[in-house]
Amino acid sequence: MWVAAMVACTKSDGNGDSASDETRPGLGVLGYLTHDIGEVDVFVIGTEDDGLDIVRDLEIDPGVAGRLWTVNRADDSVVIYDGVDTDSPTSEKIIDPYALHFMDNVSSIAFGAPGLFATCQESRNTYNDMAPPNDYMGPTLWSSDLEIFGESNPEAVEYLSDKLGFYTDLGSHLDMLHDTPLCMGIAWEVDNVYWTFDGWDSISRQDFQEDHGPGYDDHSDGEILRYVEGEVSRVADVPSHLEFDHETKLLYIADTGNSRIAVLDTQSGEMGARLPQVDVYPYPVHNRMDDAVIETLVSKDLEEPSGMALYDGLVWVSDHATGLIAAYDTTGVAVDWVNVEPGIMGIAFGPDGSLYYANGETNEVVRLRPLDE
């Protein structure tokens, strides 16, 4: 297979804590270069019994210890797990009152500024097949406060119902941008700025600016810049996850359709022509970015890269087609890998070094740790 970089790793007791000063080559969470999932501590956090329904991504909540959020395509839901760092996690399923639009066919989730996260939707906006597609779709901004998320805002309901002349409940969303249909992945940069993998086979920088509060509808201050159109490729039903490196300003991309990990220099490019707009609001900025630099980091042995993570100085990827989970250094050299099971989509790390993955085919969320020794 690949030639691996030999990396000495501190032995773990299985909970992310150093057990001794001894070191082994490779990465414990991937089996220390054995490439054998039997050499990894595998624990199933959740199943369809918890309400997982084509689970496609997951993220650790940075504001609540031991909490993990998952997003589910089939019913536009989230399942939230608490205690994922233990062997007795609990779960809660939530479907927003207007999830049929704001979380329709959700593909991905990214936490951002404290108390906030955003999702992307693989949808052309059919309101769960109740209307013809109009591409009035894009990323949605949410509060992670469970007293707000998934709840109707009575003041917004009253305001919008009076304004529109009929009962209107837009759920708990904080903001939305509407020119990114079939969105496959999302990553946070700063403030309310997120990067997305678009159905236009492009990468976009999307700035919600100021949110409008739970359940309102003023999205007019949004700004969108579209990069490298046609240089990345979407695969239907397989998310293309992203990770933004806040130090280098590089965006790492699971470019699923091109079977590679790509890297976008987000500091490159110049603003070009204004884009046509689906949204009725005239965004202050909605333009192409010309001449941005995108390069291939890894292509060998990848078929359908989907999950993406940056952790411990390495670039981690899961392959939906083959079940591979691999870690690379930032030059593209394979450090370690393990073959798990086909169907893996999103991956994420906990603060203790545990690796979590979502499998949309088996409807499972799984935790990987170094095997106790």
- Looking at domain 43-370, its CATH superfamily turns out to be TolB, C-terminal domain (2.120.10.30)
* pLDDT, mean of residues 95-107: 98
Asked whether 226 and 287 are in contact (CB, 8 A), the reply is yes
Asked whether 51 and 91 are in contact (CB, 8 A), the reply is yes
Which residue in 268, 255, 276 sits closest to 201, CA to CA? 255
How do residues 270-325 score in pLDDT, each as one tens digit?
Answer: 999 999 888 777 899 999 999 999 999 999 999 999 999 999 999 999 999 999 99
> Can you give the pLDDT at residue 21?
37
Is 90 exceeded by the pLDDT of residue 80?
yes
More confident residue, 2 or 66: 66
Q: Which segment of 145-154, 256-265, 271-280 scores lowest on mean pLDDT?
A: 271-280
Is 60 exceeded by the pLDDT of residue 58?
yes
Q: Give the separation between CA 106 and CA 108, rounded to whole angstroms.
A: 6
Provide, rounded to the nearest whole percent, the portion of the chain with pLDDT above 90. 89
Is 80 exceeded by the pLDDT of residue 203?
yes
Please state, rounded to an integer, the average pLDDT across all residues of the chain.
93
Q: Give the separation between CA 213 and CA 143, rounded to whole angstroms.
A: 9
Is 80 exceeded by the pLDDT of residue 153?
yes
Is 50 exceeded by the pLDDT of residue 22?
yes
Q: Give the separation between CA 283 and CA 285, rounded to whole angstroms.
A: 5
> Can you give the pLDDT at residue 103?
98
pTM of the predicted structure, to 2 decimals: 0.94
Place of tokens 């935790």: 367
346 contact partners, CB below 8 Å, separation of at least 6: 56, 57, 58, 59, 108, 109, 239, 241, 306, 307, 318, 357, 358
Tokens of 237: 């039903």
Tokens of 71: 């997003």
> Can you give the pLDDT at residue 12?
40
Q: What per-residue string of b and e applies to 2-27 under the rule 16 or more CB within 10 Å gives b? A: eebbebebebbebebeeeeeeeeebb
3-state secondary structure of 246: coil
* pLDDT, mean of residues 165-182: 96
Which residue in 197, 196, 238, 187 sits closest to 344, CA to CA? 238
Which H or E element spans position 146? none
